[in-house]
Amino acid sequence: MSSMESLAQLEVLCEKLYNSRDSAERAHAESTLKCFSENSDYISQCQYILDNASTPYALMLASTSLVKQVSDRSLSLQLRLDIRNYVMNYLAARGPKLQNFVTISLIQLACRITKFGWFDDDRFREIFKEATDFLALV
């Protein structure tokens, strides 16, 4: 199966997760997709989803999964910096074109990772300058 076929299947599951009126269908989607928020091996897949998915629900899954990952896991400093840099660049490049609920989730991710990394490395404190830089572009 190609990665595009897998992505299309994931997008269908995300649609069910966020929109299905059938609680059994929603519960199945949730149990199938929870690996993205519980297993740090899926962080790169979350970034792949953000880069390639066409539905806002898949983007929302990736973003909320990353929020949970940075909140609940003791990720390495380098991985947290990588996620932080990725999210800031992503917001700068694509933020204005996203659905509001996706943008809000990505901003929450940027804030959460900044909060938890504030005392670990000065690079986390650059959020003010970076946010000002790309807010000036809007």
Q: What DSSP character marks residue 123?
A: G
Mean pLDDT of 62-84: 92
Mean pLDDT of 115-123: 91
Contact 70, 83 (CB under 8 A): yes
Tokens 């199966």, located at residue: 1
Domain enclosing residue 109, as ranges: 3-137
Tokens 């929109």, located at residue: 19
Mean pLDDT of 24-52: 95
Closest CA to 111 of 97, 138, 130, 98: 130
* Amino acid letter, 95: G
Contact 80, 70 (CB under 8 A): yes
Q: Please tell me the distance from the alpha carbon of residue 14 to that of residue 32, in angstroms, as a whole number.
A: 10
**Number of domains making up the chain:** 1
With 50 as the cut, is the pLDDT of residue 1 above it? no
Q: Please tell me the distance from the alpha carbon of residue 70 to that of residue 56, in angstroms, as a whole number.
A: 21
Rg, the chain, Cα only: 15
Closest CA to 71 of 34, 131, 103, 114: 114
Q: What is the pTM of this model?
A: 0.89
